[in-house]
């Protein structure tokens, strides 16, 4: 598993809950989205959860997402490729680690390549991870 994805990501976004103007830097937006890898693997989505809300320009989300919503209006949809450097960044092997299947199963996680999850680190913060291979 690693915390970076090394392929480009596709994001399909829909802007919600704004006034009838276009999104500008500093606006707070709620975005419904789906994200895929180039091979078509769905890696994240707001379909089954509350769409995230963020203020543009605060770096609360990937810079590619911030740039994607700038200029959109309520109800508008876009599908666009976001390169790795604007998404999760380039692959960094030092952030990769091996986790045993038994540990995943103890957490009631079915190990599948492409599965994204969050792991609580020492100190309580959550670390996003994705399963990149199984052995």
Provide the pLDDT for residue 12: 60
- Segment 92-121 mean pLDDT: 86
Separation CA 29–CA 34 (nearest Å): 16
Neighbours of 36 (CB within 10 A): 20
Task: For the chain, give the mean pLDDT.
Answer: 81
Task: Write out pLDDT tens, residues 61-89.
Answer: 888 889 999 999 888 999 998 887 888 77
Inter-CA distances, 52 with 12, 97, 113, Å: 14, 28, 25
- Segment 2-27 mean pLDDT: 63
Which of these, 54, 48, 38, 45, lies nearest to 5 by C-alpha position?
A: 38
- Segment 29-42 mean pLDDT: 86
- Segment 27-38 mean pLDDT: 89
Domains along the sequence of the chain with CATH: 9-86 (3.10.50.40), 93-130 (no CATH)
Provide the pLDDT for residue 2: 38
**Residue 21's pLDDT band (cuts 50, 70, 90):** confident
């Amino acid at each position: 598993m690693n915390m970076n994805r090394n392929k480009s990501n596709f994001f399909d976004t829909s802007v919600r809950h704004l006034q009838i103007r276009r999104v500008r830097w500093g606006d707070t937006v709620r975005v419904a989205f789906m994200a895929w890898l180039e091979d078509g693997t769905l890696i994240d989505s707001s379909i089954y959860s509350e769409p995230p809300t963020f203020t543009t320009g605060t770096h609360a989300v990937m810079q590619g997402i911030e740039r994607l919503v700038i200029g959109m209006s309520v109800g508008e949809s876009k599908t666009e490729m976001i390169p790795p450097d604007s998404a999760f960044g380039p692959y960094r092997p030092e952030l990769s680690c091996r986790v045993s299947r038994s540990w995943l199963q103890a957490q009631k996680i079915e190990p599948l390549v492409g599965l994204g999850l969050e792991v609580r680190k020492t100190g309580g913060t959550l670390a996003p991870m994705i399963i990149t291979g199984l052995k």
